Structure 1
Amino acid sequence: MQSLVQIVGVLTVCLTATFNASAQATPEPSELQVQVWAAACMACHGTNGKAEGAGRPLAGQPADTLIKILNFARTGLYTGLIMPQIAKGYSEDELKRIATYFSQIK
């Protein structure tokens, strides 16, 4: 009986440690992850946001401007065909990271 109590005690400690580890903040996305998110924009806005076709260039634009446009798209205030649908798939933080990524491209 005592060994059963010890096993239950060890399991409780392990499960508590696992729960606490998973409850910590989400890790920061890597640069590669941000590039993967930004790839959705590149179909219309060109490789690395340097548009040569239908979409406007994103590369080098101020991050604040891009964030405003993305938020308009996400909330439905921007009525383009594709951007509202794509922008809704990202969190506010992800959109900020995407905007920052494009703003840093020269």
Structure 2
Amino acid sequence: MKALAAMIVVAFIGPATAASAPPPGAASCSGCHALHDTSSTAIPPIHGRDADEILAAMTAFHDGTRPATVMNRIAKGFSEDELRAIALWLAAQK
């Protein structure tokens, strides 16, 4: 079901828009997450990762099933649709 919703969003906004125009909140992710896997920090890079993987992690932070120090508070500020849009945009960043 989530994959279907992701396909609908991409079909609606188009791949070029998904890659170039970040949804609200998505651009701030690079403040902590490196754009590429060249960083040696404990915070993993997320740009270009699978959208379902990103959404699953963000949903787990949002509902409290995945422990965190900061991400749980950040994720709670977004709706499910907003989290999905952010995950799709991050996945499109390669």
Q: Is the 8 A contact 2:22 2:86 kept in 1?
A: no
Task: Provide the aligned C-alpha RMSD in A.
Answer: 2.1
Provide the rounded CA distance (Å) in 1 between the counterparts of 2:42 and 2:50: 20
Q: Which runs of 5+ in 1 are unaligned?
A: 1-27
Shift in Å at residue 32 of structure 1?
4.0
The number of equivalent residue pairs is: 75
Richer in helix (by share):
1
Question: Which residue of structure 2 lines up, in the alignment, with residue 90 of structure 1?
Answer: 78
**Which aligned segments of 4 or more residues in structure 1 are displaced greater than 6 angstroms?**
none
Q: Which runs of 5+ in 2 are unaligned?
A: 1-12
Question: Which residue of structure 1 lines up, in the alignment, with residue 92 of structure 2?
Answer: 104
> Identity of paired residues, percent?
32
TM-score by length of 1: 0.61
Larger radius of gyration: 1
Q: Is the 8 A contact 2:50 2:91 kept in 1?
A: yes
Q: Deviations over 1:40-63 (max 9, x none)?
A: 3222212xx435233111111110
